[in-house]
Structures are given as C-alpha cells and as structure tokens.
Amino acid sequence: MDSSIFKVVFVGSTRVGKTSICIRLISGAFQLTAPTLGADFMQHKIVTRSKRVINTRIFDTSGQDRFFGLSKSFFRGANVSVFVLSFDEVESLEKLEKYVETVEDNCEDCLHYLVLNKSDLAGAKEGDLGISLEDVEKTRSKYGFEKVYVTSAKTGEGIEELFLDIGDDLEKELAEPIPAPTASTKLIADEREEEKGCGCCNL
Ligand SMILES: Nc1nc2c(ncn2[C@@H]2O[C@H](COP(=O)(O)OP(=O)(O)OP(=O)(O)O)[C@@H](O)[C@H]2O)c(=O)[nH]1
Ligand SMILES: [Mg+2]
C-alpha cells in the first residue's frame, strides 16, 4: 500500500452541503449538520476502480464569509479541490469565480472537480430553484472543469462516482513515470544489439 496522503479540500458557499457530502461519504448516511466553523478534517481511504487504496485527508472548509481568510489557509498545498454549488443557492454560482481564483493562487497542480448538490429537492433538475444544470454547464467550460457531478447528500446520488473519479485520478498521479533512456543506457543497449549480431543473415 502506498503511504502518500493526498490533501482534498471542499470549497464553496455556506449551506451548499459540503459537510453533508463528507458525512455521506464517511458514514453512508444523511445526518443533521451544524455550520462549519473554520474547517473540519477527516481521514478517508478511497478504493479505486482497480482496487488500489488511496489515502486522503479531507478538509471540509466553512463557506461563511467571516471564515474566508481561515478557509483560504487550508487550500495551501491541496492536491484536490472540490467546488460545491447547490441547486437552491444562487450565491454559490456567483461566488465560484472567487473560490477558483483563490484556490489557484494557493495551490499549484491541484485537480479540480465541480459538484452541484441537492439534486433531490423538488424542481431542482427542472431548474426551478435558482440554478439550472445548463447554467452550471456554461460555467464548467469557462473554468475548464471536466464535468459537473450532480449529487445529493440526502439520497447519495453521484457521491460514489465523484470519489471514485478522484481516486482514479490520484492513482494516475501515483503511477511511477517510466524513466527516459539516458545516453549510457542507450550505449549499453546498442552494444548488446551488436553482440547479438544480425538475426536475418547470421553475421
Ligand atoms: N435536501 C437536501 N438538503 C441538503 C443536502 N445537502 C445538505 N443539505 C442541507 O443543507 C443544509 C446545509 O448543509 P451543510 O452540509 O451544513 O452545508 P455546508 O456547505 O457544510 O455549510 P457551511 O459549513 O456553513 O459552509 C443542511 O440543512 C443540510 O441538511 C442535500 O443533498 N439535499
Ligand atoms: Mg459545513
């Protein structure tokens, strides 16, 4: 098992469901939450689709403006940032730009995921609650997110897929790069070829 621990931060406006998604992931249930003060963190092992175990430390930050400075300090050195919006929180989409810029200022080479939560609410998927999937799709391409994960911490929709994708992407980061041949390894290989001679004419 690999000993690397990847830092995952949950980012977004207050009340979009960041804590609820984390709790759903860890406990498999939808539980009552209180607003996060500053940030909470938890350890989680993601088992990838190829059954590799990826160790993560998840930082669930507060979306309240008064904690923004503090939340920002948790973005530093993150490997993964999960930006959470909610169908019923228009403000969450308006503030996305600020969050993306702040995360990018604080961590290099961070993998980004975009989540649209509370899909279980009546009228959510029809776009009746303030934010439609179409609006978020436009934003997705503007910021270069690969896809929009439509989730519900209440029913569990989309959450397993989100974390499997995160795990698979981190697994790719762990894959050891194949070393490029150096001048000396190339020379040795050439010498061996010469020793073997030419197979086609028995020289
Ligand atoms: N119906 C529904 N309600 C949800 C869902 N996710 C969260 N909620 C509710 O939304 C409210 C806010 O959820 P939290 O998880 O505390 O939100 P948060 O983003 O962590 O908020 P801060 O900690 O203040 O930044 C709570 O009443 C949750 O029960 C969901 O998927 N569906
Ligand atoms: Mg919270």
pLDDT at 176: 56
pLDDT at 191: 55
Phi, psi (deg, nearest 5) at residue 116: -120, 105
Q: Give 143-167 pLDDT, tens digit per residue.
A: 989 999 999 999 999 999 999 999 9
- pTM beyond 0.85: the answer is yes
Q: Give 10-60 pLDDT, tens digit per residue.
A: 999 999 999 999 999 999 999 999 999 999 999 999 999 999 999 999 999
> Is the distance from the beta carbon of residue 197 to the nearest atom of ligand 1 less than 6 Å?
no
Ligand number nearest to the C-alpha of 35: 1
Q: Ligand 1 pocket check: which of 15, 23, 64 to mutate, most ligand atoms within 8 Å of Cβ?
A: 15
Identify the domain containing residue 127 by its residue range: 5-202
> Is the distance from the beta carbon of residue 170 to the nearest atom of ligand 1 less than 6 Å?
no
**What percentage of the chain reaches a pLDDT higher than 90?**
77
**In CATH, what number is assigned to the domain containing residue 165?**
3.40.50.300
194 band by pLDDT with thresholds 50, 70 and 90: low
Q: Is the pLDDT of residue 199 over 50?
A: no
Ligand number nearest to the C-alpha of 71: 1
Q: Is the pLDDT of residue 190 over 60?
A: no
pLDDT at 180: 55
Q: What is the rounded distance in angstroms from the CA atom of residue 177 to the CA atom of residue 125?
A: 42
Domains of the chain: total = 1
Is 190 or 40 the better-scoring residue by pLDDT? 40
Q: Ligand 1 pocket check: which of 31, 33, 62, 119 to mutate, most ligand atoms within 8 Å of Cβ?
A: 33
CA of 16 to the centre of ligand 2 (A): 8
